[in-house]
Structure formats: structure tokens, C-alpha cells
Chain A
Amino acid sequence: MKNETKFDPKILEEMIKFGKHVMNAPKFVSAPDEISLEVTPHDIVQEIDKTRLLHYRPLTDKQHKTPLLISYALINRYHILDIQPEKSWVRNLVLQGFDVYMLDWGSPTSMDKYLDFDDYVNGYLDSSVEYIKNESSAEKISLQGYCTGATIATAYTTLHPESVKNYIATAPVIDGWRDTTVISNLAKHMDVDKMVEIIGNMPPEFMYYCFSVLKPFEQGIEKYVNFFKNIENKKFVDNFLRVEKWLGDTPPIPGELFRQWIKDIYQDNLLIQNKMYVGGSHIDLKKIDMPLFTQVAVGDHLVSPECSMPLHYAVGSEDKILKIYPTGHVGMIASSLSQNKVLPELGKWLAERS
């Protein structure tokens, strides 16, 4: 016969195999409440409103003198920094001998809609720093901010430089006008006053929408195809479900905080221009004069490198370093690359200054 189409029977074989994997998936998948995202042992040492200060238990005999506080992002929860033992940011630092604390912002409710930047910077973050200073008898601490948590940490560091010995900014949201991501495009066109007035807090649904427009086909199709292909790989499935559970745990952002964040960072870009005010105090990036380590990811599609890097050039620090890694926003903190390159480099830098 002419024009006969050659059909590789392997295609059918693959399709049947994939179908079987889909059918068998329920046998291999745990329910979300069966998955615990708390990996590294810790104690909750302070609770204020809905925030919690976590103190990780030491895993080494000797520890560096200066404690490290991590200010996690406002989007999703802190668990991604301790998502599984082999990829845990926190565990790695604890194993390097650092005394690590984490500030969990919790899940705000409607009654928290009036919480603003001032409450987060001069309230929750400052209380945590003061607690750690008292507990450890250290005069200063090392502070790490991740993503939007770095925006808060940056504001804090300019207002309380006397409490911060070293500052680590990981994918910080700093220069909103230079940000080339989809998130910044949506933020620039948002009527945030109307949203806060009518809804109150920034609803999680809005964040889910933002996530859905980031690489929609890779994340919406390929990711799940891969999941079913690897359904019999216990480690892969476990890791996948942990990340999925983390992705699904998106707390609302307090209205007033969200309003100032969108306006001052994305719409008016006040932070990098040294025109931002928090609780009536001027945020001057030149006041950051302690050692600074800025980490950015070249493939970051949530906070583009152009948005983060200006911090390095705007501060008053003489001892500063900017590292650019070939990965993405989450890859920088929870991947093999972060374990094998990002964290060892950070640990070495921090140890020399702790």
C-alpha cells in the first residue's frame, strides 16, 4: 500500500503504561494531612499574634557564635526552606554549625487586615531579633531575608543596623520597576486600594492565579505528566507531594501590608529610590553598612535578577558580595544546586563573619 504510515508499537506500549500509572496513582499517593512538612527538629520559642519564632535544635557539637534569623517570604509558608532532609536549607545550615531561627508569619485572618509594614518590621521581626539577642547573649545577629521576606528584612536592617551583624538577601524584591516577571506586570495594573477596601486581605485565590500564569504549560501539564510517569518512584512522589502541599498552603496577606507592598515596591518603586517610609521612619538603603551577601537566580520567574541586584549597589556596605546562580526562585533554596553550591558558599562566607 502507498503512503502507509509507520506506527511504532512502543507508542501504544507507552500509552498503556502511562494509563496504568494513572490508574495506580491512588495506591502510591498519601493524603495531604499524612505529609508532614516539619523536617528539622525545632522548638517554638516565641508566639506573637499568629507569628511563631522557630528555633532549630543543634546537630553539631560546636556552633558559631552569631545566631541566624531567617525572615521567610509572605507568599506561602516557610516549609520550603525545610522541605525534605536532603534539600533542606535549614538543616544544611544547622549542620554547618549555625544557630538557626525562623520567623513563621502564620496565616492571617480577616481581623489582621490592618497589619502593615510597620507591624511586620518594627513589631514581629524586631521582637524576634530582640528575643534571639536576649537568649543568645549576642549583641547582633545575622539576618537572612528570602523573596518578600527580604523586603521586610531590608527595611528592618536600615532601621535597626545596630542589631544586624551580617545581612543575607536571597532573591530580594527591591526594584519593582526593573522586575520583568508576570507578577510585576499584574501588580503594576492592580487597583490595590479597591482590593483592600472591599476584600480586606489579599486572598490566596489571587496568588493561585498568579502561580497559574507562570510557565502555565510546563507547570500545568509537563509537571503532572512527569509525576504519573514516576508514580512508582517513592522518593520522587514524596518530594512532589511535599512541594505540592507547600504550594497549596498560601495564606492571605494582610490588607494594609499588601497595599504598601504593591504601591511602594511595584507601582511607585520607592524602596530603591530611598523614598519609602515604614511606621513614619525613612528607609535609607545606605544605612545598610554591615557585610551583605546578595543571592539571585538567573532563571527566577517570580523575582527577576534585575529586581534583586540593585540592592547590592544601593547599600553602604563595603564588605559585600553578589552571587548569581543558574537556577530558579525555588531551585536556589531547595535543590541539589542549593545544597552543593549555594549553601556551602553562603556557609563559608557567614562562618568567616560569625
Chain B
Amino acid sequence: MSSKPQALTSIGPMRAFASNAKKVSTELIEINENLMEFNKFVTEYYKQLSETWTEAQKKVNQKSPDVPHDVEQIESFKRIWIDIFDNDFTELFDSEKFGENYGKLVSKELELTKHWNNISNVILQSANLPSKEEIDEVYREMHALKKRVTKLEIELKKKKEIKNDGGIKNEK
């Protein structure tokens, strides 16, 4: 009966949204869990940067203990500072521990993006719009069709060439 409040969601965007509301809340819970993991890797990331900075600064202090007094001294201090910091940070970025943590950090970030995509899909579907997967399917189909057309064009070109060659031979 139209007088029943639940009938309000029987058609239109609200129905789709209401039926998918559980999915949204599940995604939000998972985002929360992901964020905790993500924070773990972000913390490790900044810990590595901060430790490298401290070590590099110690090396700079050992190499240039005096306060520079003139322009040349400032220049050479700057050079030492940049060289040591670049070397130490490049060593960090080249290391297994950095690569591994950074890989996990990006991976967690991607998982967060996936949850966000899933929530967006619920909203898109409730508005009767195609989801990301559906659009991807169209892109995949277009790509396959383009390849097929190119292949057919090449075959057609070859056949024309053979036909033309045959015509020339016959004329001879």
C-alpha cells in the first residue's frame, strides 16, 4: 500500500541505495581496518626518513663543526650538507627495507581506494549510472574491437596487394 512508509523506497534511487546500504557500511568498517594498517606503514615510512635525517645531520656536524663565517664557508657547508643528505637518503631509498615498506604502504593505499570505488559504485548504481566495472568492460570491448579492426585492415591490405600483383602478372 502506498500509505506504508516502506513503499517510499519501492522505486527510484532511494530503493537501490537502501538495498545497498549494508554494503556501504561494510565498506566503511573495512576502510577503518585498512586505515589502521595504512597508518602502521606510514609511521614506519616517516620513522625511516627521520632516522636517516638524524644520522645525516650527525655526519654533517662531524664534517663541519664550525659555524661558517663568510660566503665561501657557507657555500662549502651547503655543498657538504647536500652531498651527505643526498647520499644517505639515496642509500635509504635504494634499501630493501624502504622498498618493502613503501610497497606495502602503496598497496594499503590502493586497498583504501578500492573501498572508496566500491562505495562510489553503490551511489552510481542508485543513480542508475554505470559502475566503474561496467565502464571498464566497455573500454575492454573497445580495445578488443580496435585490435580486431586493425587486424582485418592489414589482412584486407595484403589481399589487395596479392590481387594487384596477380593483375599485373596477368597483364604481362
Contact = CB atoms under 8 A, between A and B. Distances in A.
B94 interface: yes
B8 interface: no
A200 to B, nearest CB: 8
A10 interface: yes
Given A114-B139, A114-B140, A185-B93, A191 B82 contact: no
A27 interface: no
A218 B82 contact: yes
Given A110-B139, A185-B93, A8 B102 contact: no
Interface stretch (B17-25, B28-36, B83-91, B122-130): B83-91
Contacts of B136: 113, 200
A110 B137 CA distance: 12
Interface string B98-109: 111011001100
A5 interface: yes
Given A5-B67, A198-B113, A111 B102 contact: no
B150 A217 contact: no
Given A123-B150, A189-B100, A190-B106, A5 B69 contact: yes
B110 A191 contact: yes
Interface in A214-228: 214-218, 221-222
A43 interface: no
B142 to A, nearest CB: 7
Given A10-B71, A188-B99, A199 B93 contact: no
A11 B70 CA distance: 6
Contacts of B152: none
Interface residues of B, number: 38
Of B70, B100, B111, B142, the most chain A CB neighbours within 10 A belong to B70
Contact of A111 (B71, B78, B142, B150): B142
Given A182-B94, A190-B103, A222-B82, A10 B70 contact: yes
B95 interface: yes
Contact of A195 (B106, B117, B143): B106
B150 A198 contact: no
Contact of A217 (B89, B117, B140): B89
Given A8-B69, A186-B102, A194-B110, 20 more contacts: A5-B69, A11-B70, A11-B74, A14-B71, A110-B139, A114-B143, A123-B147, A182-B93, A185-B99, A186-B103, A188-B99, A189-B103, A194-B107, A195-B106, A198-B111, A199-B113, A213-B93, A217-B82, A218-B82, A222-B82
